[in-house]
Structure 1
Amino acid sequence: MKILMTGGTGLIGRHLVPRLQALKHDVTVVTRSPDKARQLLGNDVGIWKGLSEHQNLDGFDAVINLAGEPIADKRWTEQQKQRLCDSRWNITQKLVDLFHASETPPSVLISGSAAGYYGDLGEVVVTEEEPPHNEFTHKLCARWEQIACGAQSDRTRVCLLRTGVVLAPKGGILAKMMPVFKLGLGGPIGNGRQYLAWIHVDDMINAIIWLLDNDLRGPFNMVSPYPVRNEQFAHALGHALKRPAILRAPATAVRLIMGESSVLVLGGQRALPKRLEAAGFAFRWYDLEEALGDVVG
């Protein structure tokens, strides 16, 4: 299969590309930094420096769209919110335009989204059918998904990845948390009762490949079947690092530091992968402590 990918140098992309290559797929990555991409992904990956100089997607069998500025790296000023939106919406629209310009468009578009699509629903068990709260993360993801669905036709199916917190070595949330926890200064955030929908990076990669290979479409919660509360996650990470995890971060302090983006850690989703499991996908990592032990180890 010939695959075009955006976001190939991100946390998920740099794990996905070598797996696809091991399965003998031909991968081309869209990137603004070809040298960085080759350094991270090797010389066997194809490179497109942007999409503007290309007229269509003829010759590709699939597109995987993972591009987007990290959502938690900066405070959400109005300017930063617009950057977060533009970095997702604009490239997705360009891809959809290329689908429409193709005589033989790729048969599948797998496009990023996030569990934040649902907003903060507290104790509610969240499946793909759950109506969302109308927060910034929902507006960001809903428009992102709407644009991606513009590629859908009788020749192209669209899958949407409503991804939770991805547990992986050298990146993502753990890269931010582990230095603090290694010093024994970690612990629950706020009251610790908010749910965290997580997924081991191996299951994330396997699920994307599953969606490539099976005739499925629509939204999929890319999360473990067993979401945990924030206090459980803190305890499990401390246990994996053999450090105490009892120093609670007060909600007021978190809001002061993070501003509106504090909803990412003070809120959460009790999300379940209903549609993935119904389709027959088998998770490898169900237990959080085992998953963290594998990633940290």
Structure 2
Amino acid sequence: MRIVISGASGFIGTALSGHLLAQGHDVVRLVRRPPAGTGEAFWDPAAGHLDETVLDGADAVVNLSGAGIGDRRWTKTRVREIIDSRLRTTTTLTAAMARLAAPPGTFLSQSASGYYGSSRQGLLREDAGPGKGMLAALCVEWEAAAHTAPAGVRVVTPRTGVVLSPAGGALGPLLPLLKLGVGGPLGNGRQYWPWISLVDEVSAFAYLLGSSIEGPVNVCAPESADVNAIVAQLAAALHRPAFLRVPAPALRLVLGGHLAEELVLANQRMEPARLMDAGFTWEHPALADAARWVASGGK
């Protein structure tokens, strides 16, 4: 397949591009600088600019663009940047598709577990409605923007949670602290995080590109785990203690109340129902498997 990817230089995009290339696919990365070769094409989503000929002949478009959600405090300016960076990139892609006589057959546009809000109880399958909060409202708009793709385009909106990787990823500064033996759970640790290893995240995206599934898809591992379990398993795999709990008030003080509540302290017990029903196979279905993989440096 010929696959055009936005956000290809990001954490997930880099891994996905490499995986697809290794599978023999033709990958074109959208960049905001002069292209370095035939595997890159220029676009300016802030200005809504993308030459539609870049998408001409493509089998699929993957949209992974967006400003980092948890890397800065949520000022009004930063929240606007988080929202705009997702909606503008998505609508720039769908508008370019609409200008083609034969648009790509598949549009895989990233969404997030934030769709379900920060304090949901019970098991969350894809048919659960949206929650409350900034991230939930953003994900509703983000997914709606993806569905402005032309009629006949199969639209998939993967709702991704916490991606575990030896490089840190969504674990941010927690993993280096655990390696030093000075880390621990965040808040009371009883909040569920919908986790998945980077290997399985990428495999799931590749699977969705080749499937007939459309609409929202929960992209997480089949085994549920709360933060206490995630930290304990990672610490055990690293042969380190993990007893320095970070209390919720400290997280709210350092990160800001809204960011802490919606990202770090959020309770989202997602189930990957549609992937399980489709027969997708995880390399790391259990948390212990993923923790050992992270501790081994991805070997």
TM-score (norm 2): 0.92
Q: Secondary structure at the match of 1:123?
A: strand
Pairwise CA RMSD: 1.6
**Stretches of structure 2 lacking an aligned partner (at least 5 in a row):** none
Counterpart secondary structure, 2:148:
helix
Question: What amino acid maps onto 2:285 in structure 1?
Answer: Y
The answer to whether residue 248 in structure 2 is matched with residue 246 in structure 1 is no
Structure 2 counterparts to residues 86-125 of structure 1, below 5 A? 86-125=84-123
Distance in 2 of aligned mates of 1:94 and 1:114: 20
Q: Does the aligned pair in 1 maintain the 2:121–2:267 contact within 8 Å?
A: no
Equivalent position of 2:175 in the other structure: 178
Secondary structure of residue in 1 paired with 2:52:
coil
Q: CA–CA distance in 2 between the matches of 1:265 and 1:240?
A: 22
* Cα distance between partner residues in 2 of 1:289 and 1:32: 39
1:199 alignment partner AA: I
10-19 or 173-182: which moved more?
A: 173-182
Q: Give the whole-Å Cα distance in 2 for the aligned partners of 1:53 and 1:127.
A: 35
Counting only pairs closer than 5 Å after superposition, residues 269-280 of structure 1 correspond to structure 2 as 269-280=268-279
Summarize the Cα distance change of 1:33–1:172 in structure 2 as closer, same or farther, 3 Å threshold: farther
**Offset of 1:152 from its aligned partner?**
4.7
Q: 2:51 aligns with which of 51, 54, 65?
A: 54
C-alpha separation between the residues in 2 aligned to 1:265 and 1:18?
29
Alignment: residue pair count: 289
Partner of 1:225: 222
The residue type equivalent to 1:221 in the other structure is N
Secondary structure of the 2:28 match is strand
Q: Which amino acid aligns with 2:41?
A: W
Tell me if structure 2 keeps the 8 A contact 1:158–1:217. yes
Unaligned runs of 5+ in 1: none
1:31 aligns with 2:43: no
The amino acid that maps onto 2:143 is E
Alpha-carbon deviations, 1:131-150, whole Å to 9, x = none?
Answer: 22221110111101000011
Aligned to 2:67: 69
User: Separation in 2 of the partners of 1:48 and 1:194?
Assistant: 41
CA distance in 2, matches of 1:120, 1:61: 36
What does residue 83 of structure 1 align with? 81
Correspondence 1:282 to 2:281: yes
115-124 or 213-222, which deviates more: 115-124
TM-score, normalised to structure 1, is 0.93
* C-alpha contact 1:169 1:175 (8 A) present in aligned 2: no
Contact (CA 8 Å) 1:152, 1:158: kept in 2 or not?
A: no
Do 1:122 and 1:194's aligned partners in 2 also have CA atoms closer than 8 Å? no
CA distance in 2, matches of 1:217, 1:170: 31
Q: 2: distance between equivalents of 1:235 and 1:55? A: 49
Secondary structure at the residue paired with 1:207? helix
Amino acid at match of 1:76: W
Q: After superposition, where does 1:134-149 map in structure 2 within 5 Å?
A: 134-149=132-147
Look up the equivalent residue of 1:247 and give its one-letter code: L
SS in 1 for 2:83: helix
CA shift, 1:122, in A, is: 3.9
Q: Residues 63-99 of structure 1, C-alpha deviation per residue, up to 9 Å, x if partnerless? A: 0000111110001111110000011110100001011
Q: Is the 8 A contact 1:159 1:216 kept in 2?
A: yes
Distance 2:238 2:59 in 1: 42
- Which residue identity does 2:74 align to in structure 1? W
